[in-house]
Chain A
């Protein structure tokens, strides 16, 4: 893997990205952001990924609402 210098650089990148993400109010935290970054680096289409994430969020929310209704 990367050496120590690179490690720090990458960490800084992640920090910057997290800031950007927060600024844009994307709702991603460090963990999910790092997964997304990894996926993007592997060449996945970002817009497709974004749509997937949005759909998943929607579905999860509706599931929770349903649970609250029944529960």
Chain B
């Protein structure tokens, strides 16, 4: 059925209107279904006109009985009138539809006798409608200028009177649209006429209205005094058109305002006022009041324009709120960055946000000035100010606001509330940084934006740079609010061995998750960080990334240095403080070079103008400082601390001054001109060099201190002397004593014996090291112990390295040293046992002792003839082969590896720039010798082969000494073949490695072993 469709539309509207539920809501669908089924399938009878008439009569009677005579009369007249009037779509009067409508109203009626009602208002309307021909007025569009003049005010009067009745409820607030229920409205309507007569009464108010401003916010009726030209009455014309085409058109109550009022309110809104008439603030959202109108625009058009402005107003409001929040908990008078003033608060202030707010504040001060100038322009009425003109004038500002909001919402608003400060700070800085880079790449199109963002960034970055400055200059990482990406681990004291490795924690924010991850910053802090950042795309404050390593190094070095100095020389701190007074902070340096860089491009004159001024202030400062000092001396007060504090105080004030006067202007100037130059380049030339310089200074100083005062190089040499047996004669005394004991088959594994030997040997040549060196035994597994060569594996040499050198020579390093030491001992042992063998021993053991050693050693031909001779000969040959092998190995390790690598190492140590680099060089050195001594796990098969040979040597020596009687020809052959196998194996492996060319150092070993092979 076609008309069901029409029903449905109207039903939809009705449900929406009554319930206020949006169409998408599931509740709405339910309601619709309910209504639909009730309307289609019901149990009611058709409308009975007689019955309705009876009910009407009944009500009339009832009203009379209740002595509501006026009502009764109205009722009777109204119903009669209605039945005689035509309906929209139905022809005729007193039709079924008339009764249907009445029936509906009757069914909905709610105790009419109790409700209050006056009919007055309607009658007036009726009269006006009757004698006014709007259609005619509009149809004759051409003649409108000379159109019926008296009609227009009358129409507007009607409108305003309607308002008067409808809207008294918001007289007081002036902001909220009051949605009163129909009952209440009815009551208000009744009360309206009395109220309206009162409002206008005071003369003062009238005077104000005439001379200052009409009180449009009170919704009082007032007349417009503007022209009746068509253009200025567009709204009325449109209204009329609607009125004429749609009979059921119902115009809401409106408040007429002038465009000047709209502009003024707009300006106020943008300057942060939120109690306005046209813009309402509701739940933190700014919206446009629906019922305002200007005469020359349609309501929709005005609304569209104002809603845009409201969006900006919303931005201003949000930013203002944020600023209030941040400032709220510190004090109003506390500018960011001046920490001492804020210290009285229990919670340390979050300086990064404060600085950001400070920057925003500066921006808004500017913005408000502009707004005020526009308003002044309006007040003086020198030129025409229209809404469109104002918007156009403000367009750049508005787009800036948009960007600010974008930055704000991504940088601050989106951060969950319980995030630690470090993430908030770095996130904010990153957001700014990224935004700058993003807009910077656009080029000239975004010049303004970049300069705005840049000025924000420069301000916001201030606390960070101050923290960095404090750290790399004074060595304290003072960061009460925990906002810096690097934080000190307080549980590690400075004079602890682990200080260098675990003093700081670097927080980096993972971009995707936003979760902070701590990278405990170790010796290889920089490489550690690099790896992490490349793999996970960390964004710890991006702008610091290129110099992060330097900052960490410089900071830690400074901290360490401070500690060393204060330990050695307490007076030094004082001197430092003296020096400090003349020093410029990192931030100041940054700003200065920024200005000079940017101004250099812009206009060189202003630069000349500014710099001498600064110098002048500085000179005067120094003068004052000396005056203070003299003054103090005059009063016989010899207190350098006091003098310094005076100077400091003055410095602080001047800093303050600089910030508020010249500093400010300069920043803004610079931001204005930071144009087409890429931002990163600017940073590179203005910020990084200062940090780099400082880094070089402190690290160099630390290296110097470590090398000269703490004898770092000497300790490294000592390690090489004792562990790598560079102090040949000393260590020879020590190990030969052990080898002799082993040879004599005496027990040597007594700690006291070992230590005594060691001390004895060392004390002779290096008395200062003897107290540091000690030796002890570690348990080794029994499987290994069976082989003679491994019996010395448990020996552990230890060298007590004092702080702070133990940062470089850690216990891990000592372990590596020790492994090399053991290997060397094993080789030395094998070499020694072969060396001490005497040629007469085997024969002596086998035969009767001969006459002389000489005779025996020159093995005569007769001797060879006996069956035992060939065996001895073979023993001799084998011995020589073994000696060749051991000697080439010994040579390789002692000269080719240890010595030359040691030389390289010494050279690198000289050149090391910072402690971290030094530690790295040391590690690299250790791992190189570890590698080249073939100790690496990967090539353990080579080491095993060598060990086998060494073992063979020891066994061979043992046999030699105990005599050949025990050693059968078979056992000699076995030794020979074992040796041959190992030898062959080693030669092949080494040759392969050498041929590949990847291990040039092996070449000498391979060739000397080869030589041994060819002879055999």
- The interface of chain A, by Cβ under 8 A from chain B, is 1-2, 4, 6-32, 34-57, 59-60, 63
Give the interface SS of chain B, mostly helix, strand, loop or mixed: helix
Query: Which residue on B lies nearest to A16, using beta carbons?
Result: B82
Question: Which residues of A lie under 8 Å from residue B90 when comparing CB positions?
Answer: 41
List CB contacts (< 8 Å) of B240-271 with chain A. 244-245, 247-248, 250
Q: How far is the CA of A6 from the CA of B101 in the complex (A)?
A: 19
* Among all A-B residue pairs, the 10 with the closest Cβ atoms: A50-B107, A24-B109, A46-B104, A48-B42, A26-B108, A25-B115, A47-B44, A13-B85, A46-B103, A34-B248
B27, B88, B104, B111: most-surrounded residue (chain A CB, <10 A): B104
- B110 at interface by CB-CB < 8 Å: yes
List CB contacts (< 8 Å) of B93-114 with chain A. 97, 100-112, 114
Q: How far is the CA of A7 from the CA of B775 in the complex (A)?
A: 117
Whether A46 pairs with B14 at a CB distance below 8 angstroms is no
Whether B18 pairs with A57 at a CB distance below 8 angstroms is yes
Q: How far is the CA of A45 from the CA of B920 in the complex (A)?
A: 94
- The interface of chain B, by Cβ under 8 A from chain A, is 3, 6-7, 10-11, 13-15, 17-21, 27, 31, 34-35, 38-39, 42, 44, 46-47, 71, 74-75, 78-79, 81-82, 85-90, 97, 100-112, 114-115, 117, 119, 122, 125-126, 129-130, 133, 135, 181-183, 186, 244-245, 247-248, 250
Query: Which residue on B lies nearest to A10, using beta carbons?
Result: B247
Whether B86 pairs with A10 at a CB distance below 8 angstroms is yes
**CB < 8 Å neighbour of B108 from A2, A31, A50, A59:** A50
A37, A54, A57, A59: most-surrounded residue (chain B CB, <10 A): A37
Question: Which residues of A lie under 8 Å from residue B97 when comparing CB positions?
Answer: 40-41, 43
Query: Which residue on A lies nearest to B81, using beta carbons?
Result: A16
Known: A22-B186, A24-B112. A12 touches B85 (CB 8 A): yes
Query: Which residue on A lies nearest to B44, using beta carbons?
Result: A47
Q: How far is the CA of A26 from the CA of B135 in the complex (A)?
A: 33
Whether B110 pairs with A60 at a CB distance below 8 angstroms is no
Known: A22-B117, A25-B183. A37 touches B110 (CB 8 A): no
Question: Which residues of B lie under 8 Å from residue A4 when comparing CB positions?
Answer: 133, 135, 244
Known: A20-B105, A25-B112. A45 touches B85 (CB 8 A): no
Whether A49 pairs with B129 at a CB distance below 8 angstroms is no
Q: How far is the CA of A48 from the CA of B766 in the complex (A)?
A: 115
**CB < 8 Å neighbour of B10 from A12, A18, A39, A51:** A39
Whether A45 pairs with B46 at a CB distance below 8 angstroms is yes
Q: How far is the CA of A50 from the CA of B106 in the complex (A)?
A: 9
Question: Which residues of A lie under 8 Å from residue B11 when comparing CB positions?
Answer: 39
Q: How far is the CA of A25 from the CA of B15 in the complex (A)?
A: 20
Instruction: Give chain A nearest CB distance to B190 CB in angstroms.
Output: 11
Whether B78 pairs with A20 at a CB distance below 8 angstroms is yes
Instruction: Give chain B nearest CB distance to A47 CB in angstroms.
Output: 4
Whether B19 pairs with A59 at a CB distance below 8 angstroms is yes
Question: Which residues of A lie under 8 Å from residue B115 when comparing CB positions?
Answer: 23, 25
Q: How far is the CA of A39 from the CA of B117 in the complex (A)?
A: 27
**CB < 8 Å neighbour of A53 from B47, B108, B186:** B108
Q: How far is the CA of A12 from the CA of B248 in the complex (A)?
A: 10
Q: How far is the CA of A59 from the CA of B384 in the complex (A)?
A: 55
**CB < 8 Å neighbour of B103 from A2, A10, A21, A47:** A47
Q: How far is the CA of A15 from the CA of B104 in the complex (A)?
A: 16
Question: Which residues of B lie under 8 Å from residue A14 when comparing CB positions?
Answer: 247-248
Question: Which residues of B lie under 8 Å from residue A47 when comparing CB positions?
Answer: 42, 44, 103-104, 107
Q: How far is the CA of A62 from the CA of B182 in the complex (A)?
A: 18
Q: How far is the CA of A10 from the CA of B87 in the complex (A)?
A: 6
Q: How far is the CA of A27 from the CA of B90 in the complex (A)?
A: 25
Whether A40 pairs with B250 at a CB distance below 8 angstroms is no
**CB < 8 Å neighbour of A35 from B14, B31, B181, B182:** B14
Query: Which residue on B lies nearest to A19, using beta carbons?
Result: B122
Question: Which residues of A lie under 8 Å from residue B133 when comparing CB positions?
Answer: 4
Q: How far is the CA of A13 from the CA of B117 in the complex (A)?
A: 19
Q: How far is the CA of A55 from the CA of B37 in the complex (A)?
A: 13
Q: How far is the CA of A63 from the CA of B31 in the complex (A)?
A: 12
Question: Which residues of A lie under 8 Å from residue B78 when comparing CB positions?
Answer: 16, 19-20, 23
Whether B129 pairs with A19 at a CB distance below 8 angstroms is no
Question: Which residues of A lie under 8 Å from residue B82 when comparing CB positions?
Answer: 13, 16-17, 20
Instruction: Give chain B nearest CB distance to A32 CB in angstroms.
Output: 5
Whether A31 pairs with B17 at a CB distance below 8 angstroms is yes
Q: How far is the CA of A39 from the CA of B11 in the complex (A)?
A: 8
Q: How far is the CA of A31 from the CA of B252 in the complex (A)?
A: 10
Whether B89 pairs with A26 at a CB distance below 8 angstroms is no
A6, A23, A27, A36: most-surrounded residue (chain B CB, <10 A): A23
Known: A36-B101, A48-B44, A52-B39. A60 touches B14 (CB 8 A): no
Question: Which residues of A lie under 8 Å from residue B245 when comparing CB positions?
Answer: 1
Known: A36-B101, A38-B10, A43-B3. A23 touches B250 (CB 8 A): no
Whether B14 pairs with A53 at a CB distance below 8 angstroms is yes
Known: A22-B186, A59-B31. A35 touches B13 (CB 8 A): yes
Question: Which residues of A lie under 8 Å from residue B119 when comparing CB positions?
Answer: 19, 23
**CB < 8 Å neighbour of B122 from A9, A15, A36, A56:** A15
Question: Which residues of A lie under 8 Å from residue B183 when comparing CB positions?
Answer: 25, 27
Whether B129 pairs with A12 at a CB distance below 8 angstroms is yes
Instruction: Give chain B nearest CB distance to A8 CB in angstroms.
Output: 6
Whether A28 pairs with B182 at a CB distance below 8 angstroms is yes
A6, A10, A25, A34: most-surrounded residue (chain B CB, <10 A): A25
Q: How far is the CA of A34 from the CA of B868 in the complex (A)?
A: 137
16 contacts between A and B (CB under 8 A): A16-B81, A22-B117, A23-B115, A25-B111, A25-B112, A25-B115, A31-B250, A36-B101, A37-B101, A39-B14, A41-B88, A47-B44, A48-B38, A50-B108, A51-B38, A52-B38
Question: Which residues of A lie under 8 Å from residue B71 when comparing CB positions?
Answer: 23
Whether A11 pairs with B247 at a CB distance below 8 angstroms is yes
Query: Which residue on B lies nearest to A5, using beta carbons?
Result: B135
Whether A26 pairs with B105 at a CB distance below 8 angstroms is yes
Q: How far is the CA of A29 from the CA of B189 in the complex (A)?
A: 13
Instruction: Give chain A nearest CB distance to B249 CB in angstroms.
Output: 9
Q: How far is the CA of A40 from the CA of B89 in the complex (A)?
A: 11
Whether A32 pairs with B107 at a CB distance below 8 angstroms is no
Query: Which residue on B lies nearest to A3, using beta carbons?
Result: B135
**CB < 8 Å neighbour of A15 from B39, B100, B126:** B126
Whether A45 pairs with B44 at a CB distance below 8 angstroms is yes
Query: Which residue on A lies nearest to B14, using beta carbons?
Result: A35
Question: Which residues of B lie under 8 Å from residue A20 when comparing CB positions?
Answer: 75, 78-79, 82, 102, 105
Whether B104 pairs with A50 at a CB distance below 8 angstroms is yes
Q: How far is the CA of A40 from the CA of B135 in the complex (A)?
A: 28
Q: How far is the CA of A15 from the CA of B292 in the complex (A)?
A: 25
Query: Which residue on B lies nearest to A24, using beta carbons?
Result: B109
Question: Which residues of B lie under 8 Å from residue A25 when comparing CB positions?
Answer: 109-112, 114-115, 117, 183, 186
Whether B117 pairs with A27 at a CB distance below 8 angstroms is no
Q: How far is the CA of A63 from the CA of B85 in the complex (A)?
A: 39
Q: How far is the CA of A38 from the CA of B109 in the complex (A)?
A: 19
Whether B88 pairs with A28 at a CB distance below 8 angstroms is no
Query: Which residue on A lies nearest to B59, using beta carbons?
Result: A24
Question: Which residues of B lie under 8 Å from residue A40 when comparing CB positions?
Answer: 97, 100-101, 104
Q: How far is the CA of A17 from the CA of B104 in the complex (A)?
A: 11
Q: How far is the CA of A13 from the CA of B768 in the complex (A)?
A: 120
Q: How far is the CA of A50 from the CA of B90 in the complex (A)?
A: 21
**CB < 8 Å neighbour of B247 from A2, A27, A28, A53:** A2
Whether B3 pairs with A18 at a CB distance below 8 angstroms is no
Instruction: Give chain A nearest CB distance to B47 CB in angstroms.
Output: 6
Q: A17-B105, A47-B104 are in contact. List 11 more A-B contacts (CB 8 A).
A: A7-B247, A9-B85, A12-B85, A14-B248, A19-B78, A25-B109, A35-B14, A41-B89, A55-B38, A60-B20, A63-B27
Question: Which residues of A lie under 8 Å from residue B27 when comparing CB positions?
Answer: 63
Q: How far is the CA of A38 from the CA of B129 in the complex (A)?
A: 22
Whether A32 pairs with B248 at a CB distance below 8 angstroms is no
**CB < 8 Å neighbour of A32 from B18, B47, B86:** B18
Q: How far is the CA of A39 from the CA of B103 in the complex (A)?
A: 13
B6, B35, B88, B129: most-surrounded residue (chain A CB, <10 A): B88
Question: Which residues of A lie under 8 Å from residue B106 when comparing CB positions?
Answer: 24
Q: How far is the CA of A52 from the CA of B3 in the complex (A)?
A: 19
